[in-house]
Chains A and B, each alone.
Chain A
Amino acid sequence: MSERYTTHEYDVLIIGAGGAGLRAAIEAASVGDSVGVVCKSLLGKAHTVMAEGGMAASMGNVDERDDWKVHFADTMRGGQYLNNCNMAEHHAKEAADRVHELEEWGALFDRTHDGKILQRNFGGHKYPRLAHVGDRTGLEMIRTLQDHGIHQGLDFHMEVTIFHFFCEGNRVVGALAYEREKGRFLLFKAKAIVIATGGYGRAFKITSNSWEYTGDGQTLAYDAGADLLDMEFVQFHPTGMVWPPSVRGILVTEGVRGEGGILTNSEGNRFMFEDVPPLYQSSTADNEEEGWRYVTGDKEASRPPELLTRDHVARKIVKEVKEGRGSEHGGAYLDIAWIKEHIKDSESHIKKKLPSMYHQFKELAGVDITKEKMEVGPTTHYAMGGIRVDADTQMSTVDGLFACGECAAGLHGANRLGGNSLSDLLVFGKRAGEYAAKFAEGLDSFSEIDSDEVNRLVEEALKPVDRTEGENPYLIQQELQETMQDLAGIWRSEVGLKEAIDRIRGYAERAKHAHAPGNREYNPGWHTALDLHNLLTVSEALCLSAEQRTESRGGHYREEFPAKSEEGSTYNTVVRKARDGSMEVERVPVVPQSDEMKVIIGANE
């Protein structure tokens, strides 16, 4: 049988060209390895481009009291202590260097008066910590990495999607992909593979995430035998757009609140002043005047309650809506225009600080945020859970298979602080690239991959287009998104989760018979059919993990168990493929903190 694919060989294969993948690729190439980078969209279009608010690093440019220890303690508290503390330590210690390195490669951050990198306030961060460029920090980051990366001898394969890994024993040795343009297949042989594919927000109906976020990396790793971790923890960002319906879910950056934006209900109350969680009571302002002083840089003031962690703010908005005090279209009001009470030229100030938010509302909702209130509500935003990795090397539980960025788990625990993702991408992207290159160095040759097996997989992948009839894959995807939104979203219960799992298994059966009319050339119907397996796998993992966590913590909220439990703080949830192919869930002890860490956390409580 003639081969139906082309073969490519790389010391290190990077899957994903967002911040994490690009940083990993640059690192791996810096030691002379041959590096291939694969991405589903064009270069520069990955999710990272959408990040708005900034990247967290304790440089102390705005408040010199900041240092890595405070950042570490903030990250742990935000994650409700389920974080891998060793990752949180690396992250807090290395983020500043990674930001400076980005500047060396051309990133142009906003400046302080004395010419240093300016840092802004964000929820859960004790001091102003986010290096930023207006509200388009992600664009600055991805473009800088891209423009630097294209001159480092990397091989880019754009609009190519990986859908299968090959293993030899417990070691990954290659990957199979299709390209969108002509539907041709590519076999990659690699000594080490880095997954940097991002999250799985597309499992939900209301999300800030794009079509790319179908949990591919998590599923590929799971199918190859790797452990997934903390899959129940999904972040629902409190402020997505809610009106008009077609823009529902699009993100409104937390930067709006960082610049002084306030949340009010239909009665005009700043409801965030109520129910401040005990862990944060001492560090939260109890009056409007102090809150305003905080956002304008008064170091003695405590932060306004709008800047509490995302899980809390999101649930507070849902509560207002449920109790009948929601905004016109079922959200809350977010008001930045009010700062005119304090700032003379508030309109141009807002346009300068939040240019893309100004645009977004003006053009998509017909709202002028310098004059009017926005309407906002929770949107599925970020996956804390993902591939379980070693804190130092980022290697998964499969040899030679590394993961970094949003697809990896551990750093953020039960809830991620805003701005900690962009820094995560750089810190752990670098580490993953470095250790993947080291791993590749230890191997002298590429493993053989059986061509009959490859041809069989190619044939299997073509079934949705080869079939002459079957179900529309888009409709299965939509049904899944509705199920997850209703039963596994911000408010969960045992009954609901069981129902969701049943339905997911039903969709999985139907997905096997999905049919995509047309040929295999740039056929999104076909791609959607192939993505279903990934979405269904991560959805099932999420529901099984959520079902066994009988408490509420961070991004995970159980109706029957609205409080944290003692036991819940002691374990992380692992999901893996059992020998019989079924999904098994296991509890593993939380990574223990060293004595030094305990002291740091204690000192910053």
Chain B
Amino acid sequence: MSDVTFRIWRGEGEESHFEEYKTEVSEGMVVLDAIHDIQAQQAPDLAVRWNCKAGKCGSCSAEINGMPKLMCMTRLSSLDLEQPVSVEPMKTFPLIKDLVTDVKWNYDAKMTIKPFKPRAPEAEDGTWRMAQDDVERAQEFRKCIECFLCQNVCHVLRDHHDHDKYIGPAMFVKAAAFDMHPLDVEDRVLDLKDEQGIGYCNITKCCTKVCPEHITITDNAIIPLKESVVDEFYDPITKLFRIFKPKNPTNEI
């Protein structure tokens, strides 16, 4: 048991700022525990989102000592407790209050992705057969917990604020989840190129580094999607070829 100082972002709009709190910490605690203790004992109106406390729901995203992380999965023992621990909201989204930001834009961005569309069932009982290997390829993207930490660090959104022409890495992961679904027959390439701005991504891989689900966002989702855009729009030979070749159901390139 020892006292640790936390610098927590408080308030709304222009007037928001850091405030310091001291609280007792014990073995095994995560940042979210400390925030809850401070909330229960010193700052009852401290706004914070959480649900599962086990890295499964993606609610508690924040910037801890400047690093984008889930508060519930960041153990205090992984931080330097001699120094004050800073906890701030994600910067890429408008602040609502304290640690809570307005992430509705992400939900709107997702609406632009054409939904899953399965091929007709082939088995006699009206269902489908799929190989475990094919399933696993798409499952990687389906692990996404929509924490939006990758959106938070992507410079296209964070620095250039291109929210109106770019849907961000989390949504490319979503598009990949649909596109690489073994049953999916929808074509999302034109949208990716035009409305969803996949071209703005210059493969810095910052998104991959922060993903708490360890999804290889850039290599496994974005690059294959970019390649399918190139294939369809910029490579005349492949394009010609594609006319004769039905869409590969797993979209493997």
Do A and B pair up? The answer is: yes
Q: Which residues of B contact A596 (CB under 8 A)?
A: none
Q: Quick check: is A364 within 8 A (CB to CB) of the other chain?
A: yes
* A45-B30 Cα distance, complex, nearest whole Å: 20
Q: Across the interface, do B129 and A115 meet the contact criterion of CB distance under 8 Å?
A: yes
Q: Which residues of A contact B142 (CB under 8 A)?
A: 108, 133, 139-140, 143
Q: Across the interface, do A42 and B103 meet the contact criterion of CB distance under 8 Å?
A: yes
Residues facing A in B136-172 (CB within 8 A) are 138-139, 142-143, 145-146
* A415-B30 Cα distance, complex, nearest whole Å: 33
- Report the minimal beta-carbon distance from B99 to chain A, rounded to whole angstroms: 10
Q: Across the interface, do A210 and B52 meet the contact criterion of CB distance under 8 Å?
A: yes
In the complex, which of the residues A116, A150, A246 contacts B26, with contact meaning CB atoms closer than 8 Å? A246
CB within 8 Å for A363 and B75 given contacts A133-B142, A143-B142: yes
Q: What is the interface size of chain B, counting residues whose CB is below 8 A from a CB of the partner?
A: 60
Q: Across the interface, do A104 and B115 meet the contact criterion of CB distance under 8 Å?
A: no
Using CB atoms, name the residue of chain B closest to A475. B40
Stretch from A83-91, A276-284, A334-342, A516-524 forming part of the interface with B: A516-524
Q: Across the interface, do A41 and B59 meet the contact criterion of CB distance under 8 Å?
A: yes
Residues facing B in A244-272 (CB within 8 A) are 244-247, 250-251
Q: Quick check: is A344 within 8 A (CB to CB) of the other chain?
A: no
In the complex, which of the residues A106, A363, A472 contacts B118, with contact meaning CB atoms closer than 8 Å? A106
Q: Which residues of A contact B50 (CB under 8 A)?
A: 210-211
Contact with A along B38-50 (1 / 0, CB 8 A): 0111001111111
* A108-B182 Cα distance, complex, nearest whole Å: 9
Using CB atoms, name the residue of chain A closest to B47. A522
Q: Across the interface, do A147 and B115 meet the contact criterion of CB distance under 8 Å?
A: yes
Residues facing A in B57-100 (CB within 8 A) are 57-59, 73, 75, 96-98, 100
Contact with A along B197-237 (1 / 0, CB 8 A): 00000000000000000000000000000000000000000
Q: Which residues of B contact A359 (CB under 8 A)?
A: 55
Q: Across the interface, do B45 and A517 meet the contact criterion of CB distance under 8 Å?
A: yes
Chain B CB within 10 Å, residue with most, of A49, A158, A522: A522
In the complex, which of the residues B46, B59, B96 contacts A45, with contact meaning CB atoms closer than 8 Å? B59
Q: Which residues of A contact B30 (CB under 8 A)?
A: 246-247, 364
Q: Across the interface, do A50 and B52 meet the contact criterion of CB distance under 8 Å?
A: yes
Q: Across the interface, do B46 and A524 meet the contact criterion of CB distance under 8 Å?
A: yes
CB within 8 Å for A50 and B57 given contacts A108-B142, A133-B142, A143-B142: yes
* A210-B142 Cα distance, complex, nearest whole Å: 23
Q: Quick check: is A507 within 8 A (CB to CB) of the other chain?
A: no
Q: Which residues of B contact A455 (CB under 8 A)?
A: none
Q: Across the interface, do B139 and A250 meet the contact criterion of CB distance under 8 Å?
A: no
CB within 8 Å for A108 and B26 given contacts A103-B128, A133-B142, A139-B56: no
Q: Across the interface, do A100 and B127 meet the contact criterion of CB distance under 8 Å?
A: yes
Q: Quick check: is B28 within 8 A (CB to CB) of the other chain?
A: yes
Q: Across the interface, do B54 and A364 meet the contact criterion of CB distance under 8 Å?
A: yes
CB within 8 Å for A212 and B44 given contacts A110-B132, A147-B116, A148-B115: no
- Report the minimal beta-carbon distance from B69 to chain A, rounded to whole angstroms: 11
Q: Quick check: is B12 within 8 A (CB to CB) of the other chain?
A: yes
- Report the minimal beta-carbon distance from B152 to chain A, rounded to whole angstroms: 15
Contact with B along A337-374 (1 / 0, CB 8 A): 00000000000000000001001100111000000000
Q: Which residues of B contact A356 (CB under 8 A)?
A: 55-56
Residues facing B in A359-399 (CB within 8 A) are 359-360, 363-365
Chain B CB within 10 Å, residue with most, of A105, A517, A525: A525
* A523-B40 Cα distance, complex, nearest whole Å: 12
CB within 8 Å for A245 and B28 given contacts A114-B129, A151-B115: yes
- Report the minimal beta-carbon distance from A242 to chain B, rounded to whole angstroms: 11
* A46-B59 Cα distance, complex, nearest whole Å: 10
Q: Across the interface, do A363 and B55 meet the contact criterion of CB distance under 8 Å?
A: yes
CB within 8 Å for A111 and B135 given contacts A106-B116, A247-B28, A524-B44: yes
Q: Quick check: is A405 within 8 A (CB to CB) of the other chain?
A: no
In the complex, which of the residues A364, A365, A474 contacts B44, with contact meaning CB atoms closer than 8 Å? A474
Q: Quick check: is B110 within 8 A (CB to CB) of the other chain?
A: yes
Contact with A along B123-134 (1 / 0, CB 8 A): 000111111100
Q: Which residues of A contact B39 (CB under 8 A)?
A: 474, 524-525
Contact with B along A143-168 (1 / 0, CB 8 A): 10001101100000010000000000
CB within 8 Å for A522 and B44 given contacts A110-B135, A212-B51, A363-B55: no
Q: Across the interface, do A250 and B54 meet the contact criterion of CB distance under 8 Å?
A: yes
Q: Quick check: is A44 within 8 A (CB to CB) of the other chain?
A: yes
Q: Which residues of A contact B40 (CB under 8 A)?
A: 472, 474-475, 478
* A528-B57 Cα distance, complex, nearest whole Å: 21
Q: Across the interface, do B45 and A245 meet the contact criterion of CB distance under 8 Å?
A: no
Q: Quick check: is B178 within 8 A (CB to CB) of the other chain?
A: yes
* A524-B98 Cα distance, complex, nearest whole Å: 11
Q: Quick check: is B188 within 8 A (CB to CB) of the other chain?
A: no
Q: Which residues of B contact A118 (CB under 8 A)?
A: 132
In the complex, which of the residues A134, A138, A210 contacts B53, with contact meaning CB atoms closer than 8 Å? A210
* A478-B138 Cα distance, complex, nearest whole Å: 43
Q: Across the interface, do A518 and B138 meet the contact criterion of CB distance under 8 Å?
A: no
What are 9 inter-chain pairs, A to B, with CB distance below 8 A? A103-B127, A108-B138, A111-B135, A150-B107, A245-B26, A247-B28, A247-B30, A364-B30, A516-B45
Which B residues are within 8 Å of any A CB, using their own CB? 12, 26-30, 33, 39-41, 44-59, 73, 75, 96-98, 100, 102-104, 107, 110-111, 115-116, 118, 126-132, 135, 138-139, 142-143, 145-146, 174, 178, 181-182, 184
* Interface contacts beyond A211-B50, A525-B44: sample of 17 additional A-B pairs, CB < 8 Å, sorted by A: A45-B58, A50-B52, A50-B56, A103-B127, A106-B115, A111-B131, A115-B131, A139-B142, A147-B110, A147-B115, A246-B28, A360-B54, A363-B75, A364-B75, A521-B12, A523-B47, A525-B39
